[in-house]
Copies of this chain bind each other. A is one copy, B any other.
């Protein structure tokens, strides 16, 4: 009754459709796991719910991913993989240093905002003491593209005398991430405690403050 091979596809190759189904099932499980773990945390997530969201049976989920922890690991890795993919699309190489910096802040905030599972997964993982992220071997390489780009922009900015020298790109990225992360991660408590609306206009205003803060910090 369920997952009837959603539409079209029309059986172009005999083996392709079979193989594609397995692939599709794994993808569906991963997406469902990402949502469920992000929404409810590690202990709060339910395997039943993930299977149902994915439209597959629990045994299949176990067959592909092992157990809850391994599925959580895969979901966390997926969160990093997806932000890396997003970053690759961002092309700062050709832009003026200050504009590039503005775009990086905007992208970061927009990513955090539009993919709420990313922040949720990071919070969940940090609550668990980072025991899982340590097991993901290539997690360090994932952000390297961003840092490389950031280094180039900083260098260009310095040689064009619009940025001061001596700024560490990782330090800078942490500053930017911090400014973008906090108001989204803590939106609910900010609303309750400070009566901030934390809606689109408010976040846009916050983004402009963040951009100004970064640029003033980088100014010679």
**Which residue numbers of A lie inside 8 Å of B, CB to CB?**
39-44, 80, 120, 122-127, 129-130, 133-134, 136, 139-140, 142-143, 147, 170-171, 173-175, 177-179, 181-183, 185-196, 205-206, 209-210, 212-213, 216-217, 219
Contact = CB atoms under 8 A, between A and B. Distances in A.
A39 B170 CA distance: 28
A193 B127 contact: no
Nearest to A180: B178
B192 A182 contact: no
Nearest to A192: B133
A181 B178 contact: yes
Nearest to A177: B182
How many subunits of this chain does the assembly comprise?
4
21 contacts: A41-B44, A41-B124, A43-B43, A123-B123, A125-B189, A126-B188, A126-B189, A134-B192, A136-B192, A139-B193, A140-B194, A147-B194, A171-B206, A173-B194, A174-B194, A175-B179, A175-B209, A175-B210, A175-B213, A178-B182, A212-B217
Contacts of A212: 217
Nearest to A182: B178
A205 B181 CA distance: 20
A56 to B, nearest CB: 19
A143 B192 CA distance: 11
Closest 6 CB pairs of A and B: A130-B188, A43-B44, A178-B182, A43-B43, A133-B192, A123-B123
Given A192-B140, A216-B216, A126 B44 contact: no
Contact of A179 (B126, B178, B191, B206): B178
Given A44-B41, A127-B124, A174 B187 contact: no
A206 B174 contact: yes
A68 to B, nearest CB: 12
Contacts of A139: 192-193
A135 to B, nearest CB: 9
Contact of A140 (B179, B193, B205, B206): B193
A120 B147 CA distance: 28
